Structure 1
Amino acid sequence: MDDQLDDMDLRILGVLQRRGRMSNADLADKVHLSPSACHRRVQRLEKEGFIKDYVALLDPRAMGYPTIVFVEITLSGQADELLAAFEREVSLVPEVLECHLMAGKADYILKVVARDTDDFARVHRQKLASLPGVLGMQSSFALRTVFKTTALPT
């Protein structure tokens, strides 16, 4: 953890990453700080890059994407140009929510959403299989999400 963060900063970050839409007055009350001091701290945390962005987290099921698939990708090589080309192109596939470069069996692991298994088959065939350098893919379907969070430990 960064030495620039004190206990109050950590409390602010902890609250914001669980309820980012609350007003500054509510946040200040929750962390026991004056609204003006809280606002200054939040602005500093944004400026210094600790707070990256504010987003609305959508429910995949409500949006028609109840199927979550984790796809292990093996590439035909490890050249920087191939990795860069793959990363550039995979970032353009809207069904891919996450892409992680891995150490181990797979080169990349993707988190993909789909409307159903037929929709995933289409994404697999039309989009993933045509990505630069793809040699092999292994897909695992999530049966149920036990829990999910975007909140980092503070």
Structure 2
Amino acid sequence: MEQLDPSDRKILICLQEDGRLTNNELSERINLSPSQCSRRRTRLEEEGYIRGYRAEIDREKLGLGIVNIISVTLATHNRDNAQRFSELISNLPQVMEAHALTGEMDYFIKVVTPDLRGLSTFVNEILLPHESVQHVKTAIVLDTLKEDGRLPI
């Protein structure tokens, strides 16, 4: 991030807080002309600092009331098996996050389901039957203390 000057950082901070800011609103907040702000924003997008814009949706209003943390251990540890698991996870809309780990478990996934039956179906009909999976442990989130996708810029 050494290529970013203070104005670039301000743009990123403002857009993390509100991705719907118009160029004029953004330029006013960071004290740059609209044309300078637009060029910088475009450059940040082109260089991949800004990967996209999206709305923050309330999962509970959509009927996805349960957040589940699932740890997965693979049946065998080789590249092909890891690839099969990766392909499975990438095609499941219930999976919000998936991380490969060091240590006892191979993967940690965050899954949303409408209810306990949805969790049971996900684990017993999707994860466990898959050829790449050996062991699954689930935990249901009781309370979310912090959920913020913003990075410390």
TM-score tier by shorter-chain length is over 0.9
Cα RMSD, aligned residues only: 0.9
Question: 1:144, CA displacement in angstroms?
Answer: 1.1
Partner residue, 1:133? 132
Partner residue, 1:108? 107
**Match of 1:72, SS?**
strand
Where in structure 2 are there 5+ consecutive unaligned residues? none
What CA distance in whole angstroms lies between the structure 2 residues aligned with 1:131 and 1:34? 55
What CA distance in whole angstroms lies between the structure 1 residues aligned with 2:18 and 2:58? 16
What CA distance in whole angstroms lies between the structure 1 residues aligned with 2:131 and 2:19? 37
Structure-to-structure mapping, 1:65-84, within 5 angstroms: 65-84=64-83
Where in structure 1 are there 5+ consecutive unaligned residues? none
Partner residue, 1:123? 122
The percent identity for this pair of structures is 33
What CA distance in whole angstroms lies between the structure 2 residues aligned with 1:130 and 1:48? 41
What CA distance in whole angstroms lies between the structure 2 residues aligned with 1:90 and 1:132? 13
The answer to whether the Cα contact below 8 Å between 2:75 and 2:133 also exists between their aligned partners in 1 is yes
Q: Give deviations 1:98-147, integer Å, cap 9, x for gaps.
A: 11000111100000000011111111111121333111011111001112
What CA distance in whole angstroms lies between the structure 2 residues aligned with 1:41 and 1:129? 48
Match of 1:89, as an amino acid?
L
Total equivalences in the alignment: 153
**Match of 1:17, SS?**
helix
Match of 1:99, as an amino acid?
A
What CA distance in whole angstroms lies between the structure 1 residues aligned with 2:67 and 2:144? 9
Match of 1:140, as an amino acid?
A
Partner residue, 1:56? 55
Higher RCO structure (Cα 8 Å, ≥6 apart): 1
Partner residue, 1:149? 148
Question: 1:33, CA displacement in angstroms?
Answer: 1.2
Q: Give deviations 1:56-97, integer Å, cap 9, x for gaps.
A: 121111111010000000011210111011101111111111
Match of 2:149, as an amino acid?
T
What CA distance in whole angstroms lies between the structure 2 residues aligned with 1:148 and 1:142? 12
The answer to whether the Cα contact below 8 Å between 1:68 and 1:114 also exists between their aligned partners in 2 is yes
